[in-house]
Amino acid sequence: MALKDLLPSKLGFGAAPLGNMFRAIPEDEALATVAAAWDDGIRYFDNAPFYGAGLAEIRMGEALKDKPRDQYVISTKVGRIVLDEVEGTPRDNGEKGDVFANGRPNKVMNDYSHDATLRSIEDSLKRLQTDRIDIVWVHDLAQDFYGDAWIGKFEEARTGAFKALDRLRDDGTIKAWGLGVNRVEAVELLLDLDGPRPDGSLLADRYTLLDHDRALERLMPKVADRGLGIVVGGPYSSGALVGGPNFEYAPASPEILAKVAAIKAVADHHGVSMKAAGLQFSLANPAVAAVIPGASRPQRIAEDTAALKEPIPVDFWRELRDAGLIDRAAPLPR
Which residues are designated catalytic? 46, 51, 77
Cβ–Cβ under 8 Å, residues 273 and 242: no
Q: How many CB atoms lie within 10 A of CB 86?
A: 10
Instruction: Give whole-number Cα distances, 323 to 259, 278, 304, 318, 319, in Å.
Output: 11, 17, 26, 8, 6
Instruction: Give whole-number Cα distances, 30 to 215, 229, 245, 307, in Å.
Output: 32, 29, 22, 22
- β-strand partners of 294: 14
Q: How far apart are CA 20 and CA 297, in angstroms?
A: 12
Q: Residue 59 carries which DSSP code?
A: H
Q: How far apart are CA 229 and CA 231, in angstroms?
A: 7
Half-sphere exposure of 66 (CA within 13 A, CB side): 4
Note the residue count of the chain.
Answer: 334
Q: Which helix (H) or strand (E) holds 73?
A: strand 73-78
Instruction: Give whole-number Cα distances, 122 to 117, 131, 171, 256, 315, in Å.
Output: 9, 10, 16, 40, 50
Q: Which helix (H) or strand (E) holds 74?
A: strand 73-78
Cβ–Cβ under 8 Å, residues 81 and 117: no
- What is the strand order of the sheet 13-14 is part of? 13-14, 44-46, 73-78, 135-139, 176-181, 201-204, 230-233, 288-292
Cβ–Cβ under 8 Å, residues 93 and 28: no
